[in-house]
């Protein structure tokens, strides 16, 4: 009888292992958030990506690509490159610390509620997918955001890197000029890239695979990609959904749950059995009641 029980217990114990072997592996690694594109190991100080055209700056000069960064040709010094404009429906600019705006093709005027950002401020981004939303960086490195109603507020303050180190600087802002996503990207020379999807209220780190020192960002709506110039090369992020657990809609979900329930049951029974073996019997003078 005891032998029969032992056999049953062994059978129960190997069932989860059998399930593991029978179930197909349906989990795949997500597409990398950032991937190296070119100039690996080299300092790339600038990138401008336009539909069908990309220009990068490196220590050895400027390079041009017409195939989304798959190959680059050096630009000879002194050659004038006429880059096409890719402005969104509304133009936003910072001029000597004042935020200016106007519909494309009209004369620029100051945004009425915008703060003075400081004489050296120049980083600003406005996603076409969120009309009225603007994120800009002041000379003091504070990040401001404009809500669709026109109100401005401090959106992000970078903290010191630790110990006696100071705060990294915001080096770039980028957003897409067509309505592919409302995300705004902030490049920093120490904290990689952060992004906001709600117009600057909440920020998350979005730099897996990317070096910490980001020197420039550029978004290209046509290729649905964001390019990052870093001190270790040129990187690309293809627009994709945030990582999420896979959803199962077939029998494999129920088999997984069955396996999990069996593991939990076996662990509980094993623990009770272990305690019974470990503790003194009630009849023993050492036992409790």
Structure tokens at 95: 């001029």
**Cα 84 to Cα 51: distance, rounded to the nearest angstrom:** 9
Size of the residue set binding another protein (CB under 8 A): 63
Integer Cα distance of 88 and 175 in angstroms: 10
E strand spans, 51-97: 53-58, 61-65, 73-74, 90-95
Q: Is 241 in the site for another protein (CB under 8 A)?
A: no
**Range in contact with another protein (rule: CB under 8 A) among 3-11, 61-69, 106-114, 270-278:** 270-278
Segment 32 to 61, residues that bind another protein, using CB under 8 A: 33
Concatenated DSSP letters for 41-60? TS-EEEEEEETTEEEEEETT
Whether residue 284 contacts residue 276, with contact meaning beta carbons closer than 8 Å, is answered with: no
CB-nearer residue toward another protein: 59 or 165: 165
Q: Spell out the residues 6+ positions from residue 31 whose beta carbon is closer than 8 angstroms to its own.
A: 238, 240
**250: contact with another protein by CB under 8 A:** no
Query: In 10 A of CB 249, how many CB atoms?
Result: 6
Contact call for residue 251 and another protein (CB under 8 A): no
Q: Which stretch binds another protein (CB under 8 A): 46-54, 55-63, 90-98, 238-246?
A: 238-246
Only one of the segments 50-58, 102-110, 173-181, 254-262 lies at the binding site for another protein (rule: CB under 8 A); that segment is: 254-262
Using CB under 8 A, which residues numbered 155 to 184 contact another protein? Answer: 155-163
Judged by the rule CB under 8 A, the positions of this chain that interact with another protein are 16, 19-20, 23, 26-27, 33, 145, 153-163, 188, 190-191, 194, 200-206, 208, 212, 242-246, 248, 253, 256-257, 259-261, 263-264, 267-268, 270-272, 274-276, 278-282, 286-289
């Amino acid at each position: 009888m005891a032998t029969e029980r032992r056999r049953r217990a062994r059978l129960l114990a190997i069932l989860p292992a059998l399930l593991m072997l029978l179930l197909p592996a349906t989990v795949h690694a997500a597409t990398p958030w950032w991937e190296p594109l070119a100039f690996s190991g080299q300092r790339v100080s600038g990138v401008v990506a336009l539909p069908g055209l990309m220009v990068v700056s490196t220590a050895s000069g400027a390079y041009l690509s017409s195939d989304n960064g798959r190959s680059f040709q050096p630009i000879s010094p002194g050659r004038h490159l006429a880059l096409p404009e890719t402005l969104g429906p509304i133009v936003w600019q910072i001029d000597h610390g004042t935020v200016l705006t106007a519909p494309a093709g009209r004369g620029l005027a100051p945004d009425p509620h915008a703060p003075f950002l400081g004489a050296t401020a120049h980083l600003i981004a406005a996603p076409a997918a969120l009309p009225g939303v603007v994120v800009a960086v002041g000379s003091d490195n504070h990040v401001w955001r404009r809500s669709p109603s026109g109100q401005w507020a401090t959106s992000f303050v970078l903290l010191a890197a630790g110990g006696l180190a100071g705060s990294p600087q915001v080096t770039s802002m980028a957003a897409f000029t067509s309505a592919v996503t409302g995300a705004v990207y902030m490049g920093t020379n120490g904290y990689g890239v952060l992004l906001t999807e709600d117009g600057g209220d909440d920020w998350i780190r979005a730099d897996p695979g990317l070096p910490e020192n980001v020197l420039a960002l550029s978004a290209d709506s046509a290729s649905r990609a964001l390019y990052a110039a870093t001190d270790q090369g040129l990187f690309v992020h293809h627009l994709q959904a945030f990582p999420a657990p896979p959803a199962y809609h077939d029998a494999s979900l129920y088999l997984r749950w069955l396996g999990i329930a069996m593991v939990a049951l076996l662990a509980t029974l094993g623990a009770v059995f272990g305690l019974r073996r470990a503790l003194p019997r009630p009849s023993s003078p050492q036992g409790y009641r």
